[in-house]
A and B are shown apart, each in its own frame.
Chain A
Amino acid sequence: MKKIFSLFLVLTLILISGNLFSQDLDALLNAQTKPTINYATATFKASRIINGHSIQQMKKKQLDFRISHRFGTLNEGGYGLWGLDHSNIHFSLEYGVTDWLMVGLGRGSNHKIYDSFAKFKLLRQSTGAKEMPVSLSFLTSVEAVSEHFPTTPIQLTPTTTTPRINYFSSRLTYVSQLLVARKFNDKFSLQLTPTYIHRNFVPTELDQNDIIAMGAGARYKLTKRLSINAEYYYTVNPNAKYLDTRYYNSASIGIDLETGGHVFQIMLTNSQGMREGTFIPQTTDNWLDGGIHLGFNISRVFAL
């Protein structure tokens, strides 16, 4: 019995080792290939979803030159060619210092605002050897209004006035955002963007110095090079109505069209501002009465 058992054992072992001798090259190769981490790439096509930042950023030594326009409102009618008579322009240079840090400088014609920002990649969505359900970035930006201060004195009472004392700090707005994004599949991506904005100086007592908002943006790819995007910023504590000026949440819908080194973004939005400090707290047009701006962003990327 013992002999039979040992014979059986030897036979089995020989069979196993025989198998190993003729082990398929494919299996051998797979055993030698390191497990990889598959990072989610191209969650969005550009560094903006529409107005606000997306989780995308320039990789190291890549420079993005962006030109954006927002025309007037559609409800200007035929006399103003449905808003095309008015154009606000913004342009910026944005650069990847490292794969995880991007910085940018820009200038917008609306209120002559200069802006600068830094975007830090904190987490990257991945599967495989490392699992991470979402990508996370932090955005910090400073915007400076360069428009001249009003020269009219401040009216204290109907009969008394006092001259203005202007400080440089009154020109500044600070923006902080967390960008939390997930690419659900090849076509659909979603991003949530909790936002805190601090304005050093606001026009009236009715305006808030500190604004809290929550942004949500999504894209759906129709083809490999065309996607439809939507973006909404809900302002938790909006500015109160002042005279004829009412403030609305920013809502936008658009498409991204990619052609080689360019990304064209064409959108309809109720915001004329193109930076967080303006389009989140200062959107004064309303979709429901035709306060809709046609606009576009053009991104051209250079490898330096």
Chain B
Amino acid sequence: MSQFTRRHFLKGAGLLGAAFAVQSAPPFLREGRGARPIKWGMITPTTGPYATEAFDQVEGVKIAIEDINREGGVDGRQVELLFRDDQFKWDQTTTHALDLLDNHRVDFISGSMVGPEEVRLNELSGKRKIIYANYPQHILSTPDTAKTMSPLFFTANTTPYQLAGSAATYISQKKLGKRIHVLADDYVWPKMFMPAWNALSKKYSLEFSEAESVSWVPFPTSLDYSANFPKILKAKPDVLYVINWGARQVAFVKQALEAGLHKKAQIILANTDVTIPEAAGKGTYDGFFASAMWHWTLGDRYPGAKRLNDKYLERRKRPASGYGAMAHDLTRVILDTARETKLYQPKDHFKLAKALEGRKFQYSKGESWIRPCDHVCVSQVFFLAGVSEKAMKGDFDHLKVIGDVTGEQNELGCEAKGVSGPASSRV
């Protein structure tokens, strides 16, 4: 039997130590240039009431990343998606984000579906100086919230003002009447429409007063909107503007039809998507109007939209939703810009942000651009009309696009929000 000497011990310890050092070495030592993928972190609630839209977001991001990788990646590196489901719990949003940032060292953070998630990820973006690609509505775009936006926050989605603006434009163009009444769920997002309607009612000479012309519905507990119908009927509005989403919108539409409300006022839904009328049933939205950031029927107009729909039909057996399309477009524009500028590491994100500001892009709809002062995406906002069951050609054309509004005039000015100069320079 050979003797175990001190030399053997030192050799073994040395090998063990070297192995440990390699394991715990910083990533840049372990992953050589060209081998380490660019990590795109994403957090969205694929469990919970908005799971369908969240899954659509994930699919949109996957498609964008696949396309970028097929085209050679960014600076020779492939892009890798690291996805986490926060289960619609806000503490989980932060936990997963920190895990992605600290343990997985993601190069970008993205996602969210609702305001509380958006606010938390925005805050992390500001603290960690990393680009946050926000997929839902830009709620940090009002005069009250604009200054809290991280300089590295980006979105391709609309703002509440833009949605209200498209409705106000349509009301004015089609001379639907002057008297506006708003029915809204009582939480943060619908409240953001109030400054919009205050400003738009002056712009288009509409009769609207926040004190008299708004009916609030307890959220999330009350699913029956009919308790508000007597007040609305008493107000005799020309237009009833309804701010809700998802299952609550389905409930409202059904109750409005049952009560004949749609015969007494023109009903315009603030925002909708293909997934919502699907749950209401064919022809249910006939007689209703809505604004939207995107609609799958744009596939007839834009090749990018058609391509996206084809991919969704192949993978998810139905066309893309607006959430999916906007997630795709935003991911795409950030990675395309990163590829052109070769700026993708977090240390270069302020430079990348500067390159994104003012950049024009077009993927699944008409030309869009990101306004430098508040990172609002200036793009088309579409106006939709419901389709009767008889007129529907397939399973998904519950609505059709009848117009769109675009341009910076469909958003509050930077001065009105108290912000000036490019956001990326506000370190």
Q: Do these two chains really belong together in a complex?
A: no
Residues of B within 8 A of A (CB): none
Interface residues of A (CB under 8 A from B): none
